[in-house]
Amino acid sequence: MKTDTTEIQDGETRFNHIGKGANTAFHIIFILLSILCLAPLVFVIIISFSSEHSVMVNGYSFRPDEWSTGAYEFVFQSGGQVMHSLGMSALVTVTGVAIGMALTSTYAYVLSRKTFRYRKLFTGILVATMFFNGGLVSTYMVVANFLHLKNNFLALVLPVAVTPFNIIVLRTFFATSVPDALIESAKIDGASQFKIFTDIVLPISLPGLATVALFLTLTYWNDWKNALLYIDSKSLYPLQYLLMKIERNIEFIAQNAGRGSMGLDSALSRLPSETAKMAIVVIATLPIACAYPFFQRYFVSGLTVGSVKE
Residue 33 lies in a domain: no
Average pLDDT of the chain is 81
Whether pLDDT at 308 is above 50: no
Residues, the chain, total?
A: 310
Identify the CATH number of the domain in which residue 178 sits.
1.10.3720.10
Residue 158 lies in a domain: yes
What string of DSSP letters covers 25-71? HHHHHHHHHHHHHHHHHHHHHHHHTB-HHHHHHH-S-SS-SSB--HH
Residue 197 lies in a domain: yes
Whether pLDDT at 92 is above 90: yes
| Mean pLDDT computed over 289-303 | 67
Whether pLDDT at 100 is above 60: yes
Q: CA neighbours within 13 Å on the CB side: how many for 82?
A: 15
Nearest to 291 by CA among 182, 218, 197: 218
**Residue 119 lies in domain:** 73-304
Whether pLDDT at 3 is above 80: no
Q: pLDDT digit string (tens) for 9-60?
A: 555 555 556 777 888 888 899 999 989 988 888 888 888 888 877 787 777 7
Residue 181 lies in a domain: yes
Residue 171 lies in a domain: yes
Strand partners, 50: 67
Residue 58 lies in a domain: no
Residue 50 lies in a domain: no
For 117, the 3-state DSSP assignment is coil
Domain count, the chain: 1
Strand partners, 67: 50
Residue 125 lies in a domain: yes
Strongest mean pLDDT among 79-93, 151-165, 181-195? 151-165
Identify the pLDDT of residue 301: 57
Identify the pLDDT of residue 306: 46
106 touches 174 (CB < 8 A)? no
Whether pLDDT at 272 is above 80: no
In the structure, what pLDDT confidence band is assigned to residue 307 with cuts at 50, 70 and 90?
very low
Identify the pLDDT of residue 259: 57
Nearest to 123 by CA among 158, 161, 171, 160: 171
| Mean pLDDT computed over 118-138 | 87
**Helices 81-112/239-256 angle, 10° precision:** 130
| Mean pLDDT computed over 95-108 | 95
95 touches 152 (CB < 8 A)? no
